[in-house]
């Protein structure tokens, strides 16, 4: 195809992101054509219904099925904005790649589950599989790893990758509100879905981390390799303790080189107030990369939304128009290494522990003994007899009633800490399940 001929795209999915892309191309089409040397033409669209708002924004030919659009002779690029890790999304992307069509997608779940298979299919048919919009919305982290940092050995990639969870934790921190109340408000404002599981239990962030790990470390995307913990168990008591200790609590996604493998995890994490990530609040996302030559770089921006995500999709389309190509995960698929599930028992670091300890002689000494048996060194122990009446603290009462005790450990192995906590619970000195949150020095 000659450089001045239009790049013909077919868009499957005309919801929030698809509508945003149509607006972007309508408003910036001429400027884009000048920048990449050829116009972008919408040669076909497909959606669940012709009544969707985005369907009314284009006069392009309508296709009744995404699979039909994917293999149409009238398109050069199939833009998949439907979502889902199976069904029409998977079938149509495979069809497009098999038919020699470039693919641009914002579908993190699809790539986290089937990325290696789809990348191999793209390489086999000499076409692009671009997915900038699949990770952190408008933040250009995929291009940063694919292009700008290729001269570096990356040792760690991490960040705040889910805006819904970050909004909830920010409100809890600032206003001392319980999780359930803030979640309900987030749902009313449209920041959280009616079923918030995908966001608050960490799955969304884990999909994104799966792709970042593949790009940063040359491993096959493997969603099942990510250790997952959500934010449902975080209480106002934990935020108050964190504030007094100089920390903030965030849902942190981390993939780092460890020994001969990669440790990947998504979990609530305490980080120093002075760290750059601690100040990333509300619905913003943040991604940081540690490289051996560049040091640390941090990118902050909107991780979702119509316009930021459409911007990322458009950048991928422009790359194709310019003729920029390469393996989807930097290395050819055959050279990507396997990644096994993270074994958090061997994780080493500092920890925050909150216990509801029965206020009776010998209880604290017994707890300290159990910690010592596992060779766990305690940096601080605070017994909060004057704790406020907050969920997770309880109101101090008579002797023998539970009293909040907060402990900070020095660097230790997680399996040793869990063994100590199991013994403490069996000894009967605490009420309920101990709270444990990892501390990350960023």
Q: Which residues are known catalytic residues? A: 208
SS3 assignment, position 156: strand
Element (H or E) spanning 425, and its range? helix 414-427
Ramachandran angles phi, psi of 66, nearest 5°: -65, -35
What b/e sequence results for 16-55 when a residue is b if at least 16 CB atoms lie within 10 Å of its CB, and e otherwise? bbbbbbbebbeeeeeebbeebebbbbbbbbbbeeeebebb
- Give the C-alpha distances (Å, rounded to integers) separating 377 from 141, 166, 407, 417, 420: 38, 31, 10, 10, 12
C-alpha triplet 305, 311, 312: angle, nearest 5°: 95
Q: Using CA of residue 297, residue 302, residue 306, residue 308, what is the dihedral sign?
A: negative
Which one, of 431, 432, 440, lies nearest residue 411 by Cα? Answer: 440
CB-count burial class (<10 Å; 0-12, 13-18, 19+) for 369: middle
Which one, of 209, 83, 81, lies nearest residue 145 by Cα? Answer: 209
Q: What are the start-end ranges of the E strands in 36-174?
A: 40-46, 77-80, 102-105, 129-130, 154-160
d(CA 419, CA 414) in angstroms, rounded, equals 9
The alpha carbon torsion through 189, 85, 147, 24 (nearest 10 deg) reads: -50
C-beta of residue 141 within 8 angstroms of C-beta of residue 287: yes
- Name the pairing type of β-strands 430-439 and 348-358: antiparallel
Name residue 261's beta-bridge partners. Answer: 258
How many other C-beta atoms lie within 10 A of the C-beta of residue 144? 18
């Amino acid at each position: 195809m000659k450089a001045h001929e239009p790049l013909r795209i077919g868009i499957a999915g005309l919801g929030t992101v698809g509508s945003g892309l149509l607006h972007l191309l309508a408003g910036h089409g001429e400027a884009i054509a000048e920048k990449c040397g050829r116009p972008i033409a919408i040669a076909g669209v497909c959606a669940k219904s012709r009544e969707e708002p985005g369907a009314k924004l284009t006069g392009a030919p309508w296709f009744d099925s995404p699979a039909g659009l994917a293999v149409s002779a009238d398109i050069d690029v199939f833009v998949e904005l439907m979502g889902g890790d199976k069904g029409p999304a998977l079938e149509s992307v495979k069809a497009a790649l098999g038919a020699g069509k470039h693919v641009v997608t914002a579908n993190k779940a699809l790539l986290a589950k089937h990325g290696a298979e789809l990348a191999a299919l793209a390489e086999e048919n000499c076409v692009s599989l671009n997915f900038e919009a699949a990770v952190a919305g408008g933040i250009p982290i995929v291009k940063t790893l694919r292009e700008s940092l290729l001269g570096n050995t990356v040792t760690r990639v991490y960040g705040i990758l889910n805006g819904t969870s970050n909004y909830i934790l920010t409100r809890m921190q600032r206003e001392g509100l319980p999780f359930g109340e803030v979640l309900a408000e987030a749902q009313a404002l449209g920041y959280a879905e009616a079923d918030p599981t995908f966001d608050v239990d960490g799955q969304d962030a884990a999909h994104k981390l799966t792709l970042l790990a593949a790009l940063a470390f040359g491993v096959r995307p493997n969603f099942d390799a990510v250790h997952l913990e959500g934010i449902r168990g975080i209480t106002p008591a934990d935020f108050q303790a964190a504030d007094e200790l100089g920390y903030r609590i965030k849902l942190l996604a981390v993939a780092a080189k460890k020994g001969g493998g990669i440790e990947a995890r998504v979990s609530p994490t305490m980080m120093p107030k002075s760290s750059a990530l601690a100040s990333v609040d509300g619905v913003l996302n943040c991604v940081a990369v540690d490289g051996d030559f560049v040091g640390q770089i941090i990118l902050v921006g909107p991780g979702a939304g119509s316009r930021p995500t459409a911007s990322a999709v458009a950048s991928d389309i422009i790359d194709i128009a310019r003729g920029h190509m390469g393996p989807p995960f930097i290395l050819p698929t055959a050279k990507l290494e396997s990644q096994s599930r993270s074994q958090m028992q061997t994780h080493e670091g500092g920890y925050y522990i909150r216990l509801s300890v029965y206020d009776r002689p010998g209880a604290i000494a017994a707890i300290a003994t159990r910690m010592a048996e596992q060779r766990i060194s305690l940096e601080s122990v605070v017994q909060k007899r004057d704790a406020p009446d907050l969920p997770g603290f309880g109101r101090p009462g008579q002797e023998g009633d539970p009293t909040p005790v907060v402990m900070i450990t020095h660097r230790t192995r997680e399996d040793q800490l869990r063994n100590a906590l199991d013994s403490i619970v069996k000894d009967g000195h605490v009420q309920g399940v101990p709270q444990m949150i990892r501390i990350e020095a960023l």
